[in-house]
Amino acid sequence: MAASYDELEPWYEHLYAVLGGLLRRALPPGGAGERRLALDAGCGTGFQTALLLALGYRAAGIDLSPGLLAVARRRHRDARFVRGDLQALPWRDGAFDVAVSCGSTLSFVEDPARALGELGRVLRPGGHLVLEVERRWTLDLAWRLASALAGDRLGYGATPAEARQALARPLGRGIWIAYPGYPPLRLFTRRELDGFLARAGLVPVRAWGIHGATNLIPSTILHRPRLGARLARVYAGLRRLDRALAGTVLGRATGNSLVVLARKAAAAGPPPGVGPARPGYPSRPPSAPPALDAPAQEGA
Residue 56: which CATH number? 3.40.50.150
Residue 144 forms part of a structural domain: no
CA 155 to chain centre: 24
CA pair distance 228, 231, nearest whole angstrom: 5
Q: Give whole-number Cα distances, 195 to 135, 198, 256, 274, 298, in Å.
A: 15, 5, 19, 17, 33
DSSP sequence for 113-144: HHHHHHHHHHEEEEEEEEEEEEBSSSHHHHHH
Please indicate, yes or no, if residue 32 is contained in any of the structural domains.
yes
- Predicted confidence at residue 280, as pLDDT, reads 30
From residue 58, alpha-carbon distances to 69, 76, 154, 186, 244 in Å are 17, 11, 43, 31, 32
pTM: 0.87
User: What pLDDT is recorded for position 31?
Assistant: 79
Mean pLDDT by 10 residues, the chain (300 residues): 80 96 93 85 96 96 96 96 97 97 96 98 97 97 98 97 95 96 95 97 98 98 96 98 98 98 76 37 33 38
Give a yes or no: residue 167 inside a domain: no
Q: How far apart are CA 91 and CA 62, in angstroms?
A: 11
Domain enclosing residue 39, as ranges: 2-136+175-264
CB contact at 8 A, 82 and 233: no
* 297 in any annotated domain: no
User: What pLDDT score was predicted for residue 218?
Assistant: 98
Q: Is residue 233 part of a domain?
A: yes
For residue 145, is it within any domain? no
- Reduced to 3 states (helix: H, G, I; strand: E, B; else coil), residue 253 is helix
- 2 Ramachandran zone, left/alpha/beta (phi>0; psi -120 to 50): alpha
Please state the domain count of the chain. 1
Strands 257-264 and 202-210, sheet pairing: antiparallel
Assigned domain for 283 exists = no
Name residues whose C-beta falls within 8 Å of residue 96's C-beta, 6 or more positions apart in sequence: 37, 38, 39, 60, 122, 123, 124, 127
Q: What is the pLDDT of residue 1?
A: 66
Residue 19 resides in a domain: yes
Burial class of residue 134, CB neighbours in 10 A (0-12, 13-18, 19+): buried
